[in-house]
A and B are shown apart, each in its own frame.
Chain A
Amino acid sequence: MNKLSFAALAFSLVMAGGAARADSVLILNSEEASYSILSRSTRTEIARLPVGREPHHLIITPDGKEVLIGSTATNELLGLDIKTGERKRVVKDIIDPYHLGFSPDGKWFVTAAYRLDHVDIFHADGFRLAGRIFIDGLPSHIAFDAESKTVFVTLQQSGRLAAFDLETQSLKWNMPVGNTPAGVVMLPDNKRLLVALTGEDGIAVVDPKDGAVQGRLQTGKGAHNFWPRGDGKQYFVSNRVEGTVSLIDTTGEMRVVGNIRIPGGPDCMDITPDGKELWVTQRFLRRVAIVDIEQLKVVASIHVGKSPHGVFMLQGTALLTDKPVRAASTASDRK
């Protein structure tokens, strides 16, 4: 560890001991079995820590105290303290937790087993399996309705979107939506689902009642995932093939209001608590890009591990009790 990275680490530890300013960011390095902890203020990677195998996505727990990382190839979840990043627990026997989420009422926990072709619905309390539904077509991303009655799952290979009743764990409908659907979100009005079509150049607007496609919006080739801006009236959409992130407005007639060029297969996103920066993982470049939301412009790009996927803003500053497993980056990584 050289002087600069030591200074960055010391800075983080001091910050952790004092005011719990939200300064740390988690990045899941999916092909490296590790997660990176980055400092927002210094824009550096502070540490790289081990986690199972092939971590892809993460989710905050309903009590807001932990963030759960899905380690897909080791069939487990790693729980980290949402403020300090400390390891709290490992939840075993969650098979292939590729994408994961809690229903809005916190009662249900659902995972999409992407490679094993099934959707698991758990009672969130104690992670007790309520039902496993086998379904062909690479179940990919999930979203819930506001009433916590239905979970929606995209099926990447079959080009469909499926809806399951949470209480009975039964299929409600399974409808074609377009080529290679990935990210899916429910809009705040609870009447429209947005589905990103990675095999096409935009998104589909779907009726959650019956899965009918109501409309489409062109954003960019390889539309893949969403992240809400503010109250959810605007969404960022990552376009992996195009190498852009689009900002769309969902009020009135849906439209694209901005585009940001982000090379390297942009994927998952998160916004800093002050709402000023959008962080986007650049899967192919082993970097995470920082976008100034006001200017819609990339202002920095930071080195992380191989194939970075999930990104999450910790609500404090990481307390590094575990030793870093790899040398972290050093100086500010503007590019």
Chain B
Amino acid sequence: MRELTDFWVDIQAWLFETIVSPVLFHFGLMAWYEPGYSAVEFLMLGVVQIAIIALGMRFFERRWPLEKSGPDDRLIRVDQVYTVLNKLGIVPLAIFIVTYPLVQHIELLVRTWGFAPPRLERILPWLGDNALASFLVYFFLYDFAAYWLHRAQHGFAWWWSLHSLHHSQRRMTVWTDDRNHVVDDLLINVALVLFSQVVGVQPGEYVMILMIGRLVESWSHANVDMSFGRLGERLLVGPRFHRLHHALSTPEERHIQDHNFAPVFPIWDILFGTAIYDGKHRPTGVDDAVVDADNGRGWLAQQVTVLGRLVRALVPGIRRSSMQPGLRPPAE
């Protein structure tokens, strides 16, 4: 393990000292020196994630696909674009630049008031003795917040106008997880970063939670009929569990997408009564022609179109009716 960490750190330091640091120094951007080093790690983690998805997860999709190849295969390409832009930090960097001052301002304001976020180790000292237990507890808390944010994405018409892009994919694969509007990503990021700071997640832990969490989520979108077994699928979200959340609603199952929200740990769906384990195969997508039309668009067209949907949802004068297609949360 030590050798692996050394290998990782050596590559990160080499990339930073050879490429990033001289550039920052040359352009007088030394205030970004430490964040720049973290950004290199983020980029490296992105490359690792893409490799795991492309080489590992795709193997299972190719070997045991749930939905066979067909004309809709072309719809996958845009999701690959999303994955590359996200995992290699291009979208996250843009979000970071926009949100950093806001998050900083909130954090500093709170600290100026004298409030210092407590570490859980203060309340549960035994956590300090066990790195794995500590990591898991913070991971659970993070996932708990992510579960409720996900419910909010479905619960508010304006937020659904953004999040519906993620659900519009009819050909769900390991690449689909990153298919989100940048504003949606931005909102989720700000909320989760603030939450993590309040509960006291350390920067190093945050990176690992993000890395492992996003890999689990990529896998949960895979085009395979697999789960982690009867007990396992109640401990960790798998493809069978999450596919139900993306199911196309029907007159018999109008609210099917209001289930299985959990990003990583299904315990939240079990606790809050939103879990369904029935093993049925359902087609994916959204029963709304306006949203479904996302499928024919590229990355930029999707971003622009969905932004329009958000504006219509937020501005009453533009919104023609609260039940306008594309603005209707599936819960309604």
Q: Complex formed: what's the CA distance from A188 to B119 in Å?
A: 42
Contact residues, B80-112 vs A (CB, 8 A):
104, 108, 111-112
* Given A74-B119, A241-B22, A325-B131, A53-B202 contact (CB < 8 Å): yes
Instruction: Give the residues in chain A near B21, CB-CB below 8 Å.
Output: 222, 241, 265
Give the residues in chain B near A53, CB-CB below 8 Å: 117, 119, 200, 202
| Residues of chain A with a CB closer than 8 A to B118's CB | 74
Residue A263 is within 8 A (CB to CB) of chain B in the complex: yes
How many residues of chain A have a CB within 8 Å of chain B?
Answer: 41
CA distance A164 to B129 in the complex (A): 43
Determine whether the beta carbon of B31 is less than 8 Å from that of A96.
Answer: no
A198 within 8 A of B: yes
The answer to whether B317 has its CB under 8 Å from any CB of chain A is: no
Chain A neighbourhood of B203, CB < 8 A: 31, 306
The residue from B31, B116, B129 contacting A325, defined by CB atoms under 8 A apart: B129
Interchain CB contact under 8 A, A32 and B28: no
In the bound complex, do residue A199 and residue B30 qualify as a contact, i.e. CB atoms below 8 Å apart? yes
The distance in angstroms between the C-alpha atoms of A264 and B11, with both chains bound, is: 11
Q: Which residues of A contact B119 (CB under 8 A)?
A: 33, 50, 52-53, 74
Q: In the complex, what distance in Å separates the CA atom of A219 from the CA atom of B133?
A: 46
B-contact 0/1 string along A266-305, CB 8 Å cutoff: 0000000000000000011110000000000000000100
Q: Does B307 contact A (CB under 8 A)?
A: no
Contact of A199 among B2, B25, B111 (CB under 8 A): B25
Residues in B with CB closer than 8 Å to A199 are 25, 28, 30
Q: A179-B28, A180-B30 are in contact. Are A116 and B2 (CB under 8 A)?
A: no
* Closest B residue, CB atoms, query A222: B25
Inter-chain CA distance A264–B204, complex, in Å, is: 18
Q: Is the CB of A95 within 8 A of B112?
A: yes
User: Which one, B12-20, B67-75, B157-165, B171-179, is touching chain A?
Assistant: B12-20
Chain B nearest CB, measured from A31 CB (Å): 5
Closest-CB distance, B197 to chain A (whole angstroms): 8
**Contact B202 A31, beta carbon cutoff 8 Å:** yes
Is A167's beta carbon under 8 Å from chain B? no
B204 & A31 in contact (Cβ 8 Å cutoff): yes
Say yes or no: is B37 at the interface (Cβ < 8 Å to chain A): yes
User: Does B10 contact A157, Cβ atoms closer than 8 Å?
Assistant: no
Q: Does B114 contact A (CB under 8 A)?
A: yes
Chain A residues with Cβ below 8 Å from B13 are 263-265, 284-285
Residue of B nearest to A335 (CB): B6
- B106-156, CB < 8 A from A: 108, 111-112, 114, 116-119, 121, 128-129, 131
| CB-based contact B117/A95 at 8 Å | no
B25 to chain A: closest residue by CB: A241
Q: Is there a chain B Cβ closer than 8 Å to A115's Cβ? A: yes
Within 8 A of B (CB), among A184-222: 198-199, 221-222
Is A284 within 8 A of B202, CB to CB? Answer: no
Residues of A within 8 A of B121 (CB): 50
Q: Are B33 and A198 in contact (CB under 8 A)?
A: yes
Taking a contact as CB atoms under 8 Å apart, the answer to whether A221 and B25 are in contact is yes
Q: What is the distance, in angstroms, from A312's C-beta to the closest C-beta of chain B?
A: 21
Docked pose: A136 CA to B202 CA in angstroms = 27
A87-109: CB near B (< 8 Å → 1, else 0) gives: 00000010110000000000000
Give Cα A227–Cα B191 distance, bound, in whole angstroms: 42
Contact (Cβ within 8 A) B17 A284: yes
Contact in complex: B116, A74 (CB < 8 Å):
yes
Task: Name the distance in Å between A302's Cβ and chain B's nearest Cβ.
Answer: 12
A75 interface contact, C-beta 8 A: yes
Assess the B111–A96 pair: CB atoms within 8 A. Answer: yes
Q: Is the CB of B9 closer than 8 A to any CB of chain A?
A: yes
- Most A-side CB within 10 Å, residue of B16, B131, B202: B202
Complex contact A33–B202 (CB within 8 A) = yes
Q: Do residues A75 and B202 form an inter-chain contact, with CB atoms below 8 A?
A: no
A306 with B204, Cβ < 8 A, contacts A75-B116, A116-B112 known: yes
Measured between beta carbons, the chain B residues less than 8 angstroms from A95 are: 111-112, 114
Contact B116 A76 (CB under 8 A): yes
Contact A73 B30 (CB under 8 A): no
Given contacts A307-B34, A325-B128, 18 further A-B contacts (CB under 8 A): A50-B128, A53-B117, A53-B202, A73-B117, A156-B31, A179-B30, A198-B33, A199-B28, A199-B30, A241-B17, A265-B17, A283-B37, A284-B17, A286-B9, A303-B2, A303-B6, A306-B204, A329-B2
> Can you offer 18 A-B residue contacts whose CB atoms are under 8 A?
A73-B111, A73-B117, A75-B111, A75-B114, A75-B116, A115-B108, A116-B108, A157-B31, A179-B30, A199-B25, A199-B30, A222-B21, A264-B17, A284-B12, A284-B37, A285-B10, A285-B13, A306-B203
Residues of B within 8 A of A (CB): 2, 5-6, 9-10, 12-13, 16-17, 21-22, 25, 28, 30-31, 33-34, 37, 104, 108, 111-112, 114, 116-119, 121, 128-129, 131, 200, 202-204
Closest 6 CB pairs of A and B: A284-B13, A180-B30, A75-B116, A74-B116, A199-B30, A50-B128
